[in-house]
Homo-oligomer: A and B are copies of this chain.
Amino acid sequence: MSREDRQLIDSLARGFAILECLSRARRPLGNGEIAALVDLPPSSVSRLTHSLTVLGYIRRSPSQRTYELTPKNLMLGYPVLAGMSLLDRVRPYLKSISEQTGETVTLAVRDGLYSTFAEVVQGVNLVAVRLSTGARLRLANSASGIAMVSALPEKEKHTVTARIRAEITRRGEDLAVFNNSLEECEATGVAIVRNTWQKGIGGVAIAVQAQGELGALTMPVATGSVSAEVMHTTLASTLREAAETISPGYEPQTG
C-alpha cells in the first residue's frame, strides 16, 4: 500500500491485511505466523487480532492459539449476492449444465483485476473441481477472467488489458499466455485455459450479460481427466448454447 495517500487509514489496512492472510491460509494461523506473513510486529498483530475477534470476524481456538475467519464474514457478501440480477437469471443454467456434465459450474463476476465466483454448483463427478462461493482468481490467467475481458466495451477493454499486461510484466510472467488466450477467446467466444493458476486445473468460460451486469459462465475442470479437445468441443458448445439463451442477441464474439 502506497504511503503517498495521506487519506488512507493505515490501521484499517492492517486489519484487512490480516483478514486476507487468513482467507488465503489452508488452516488456522497463530499470531506469530500471521505476523511473519503480513510483516508486522507480534504485539501489533496481537492487538489487531484481538480487535477483529471482538468485532466478530475471527475467532480463536484457545487450545491451539490459532485464529480463523467466522461465518460473520459471509454477511458482508450478502448484499452483493442478493442484488445480483444476473445470478438469478443464470442460476437455472448452472444447475442444468452441472447435471448434464457432472462438472462444477459457476458464475464469476469481475472485481477489479480479479474474477470472483458468486455462485458455485458443485459437480458430482469423482474428479469435479471443488470450489466455493468467494473463490477468487486473477483476470490474467483464468478462463472466467479472460472471457469477461473479451466482452468489455472497447474503451474499457483497452484500459483493463493494459493494466493486466502491466501486472503480468511486473510479476515477470509470460505475456504471450494472456495474449494468446484473449485472442482465441475473441475468435471463438469461449475462453479456455489449462494449468495456469493451478497445476491440474483448467477452465472453460463464456461471458454472459443481463441488465447491464457482466459475468462469466464457467466450468473449472480437472485437466488430468478432461482433455483439451473435450474442453474445446463438448464443453465449449454447452456453454455457447446456454449463453445464447441467457444473453439473447448479445454477441460475445467481438474479434
Contacts and interface: CB of A to CB of B under 8 A. Distances in A.
Contact of A114 (B19, B72, B83, B88): B72
Nearest to A72: B111
A118 B75 CA distance: 10
Contacts of A68: 79, 83
A158 interface: no
Contacts of A48: 9, 12
Contacts of A20: 75-76
Interface string A1-42: 100010111011111100110110100000000000000000
A91 interface: yes
State the number of copies, please: 2
B74 A134 contact: yes
A74 to B, nearest CB: 4
Contacts of A141: none
Contacts of A111: 56, 70-72
A149 to B, nearest CB: 16
Contacts of A69: 76-77, 79-80
A104 interface: no
A163 interface: no
A87 to B, nearest CB: 8
Task: From A74, A83, A117, name the one whose CB has the most chain B CB atoms within 10 angstroms.
Answer: A74
Task: From A19, A79, A111, A112, name the one whose CB has the most chain B CB atoms within 10 angstroms.
Answer: A79
A63 to B, nearest CB: 14
A73 to B, nearest CB: 4
A218 interface: no
17 contacts: A1-B54, A12-B52, A15-B15, A22-B79, A23-B75, A23-B79, A57-B76, A68-B79, A69-B79, A69-B80, A70-B80, A71-B110, A72-B112, A72-B114, A76-B76, A77-B134, A81-B134
Interface of A: 1, 5, 7-9, 11-16, 19-20, 22-23, 25, 47-48, 50-52, 54-57, 68-83, 88, 91, 109-112, 114, 116-118, 122, 130, 132-136
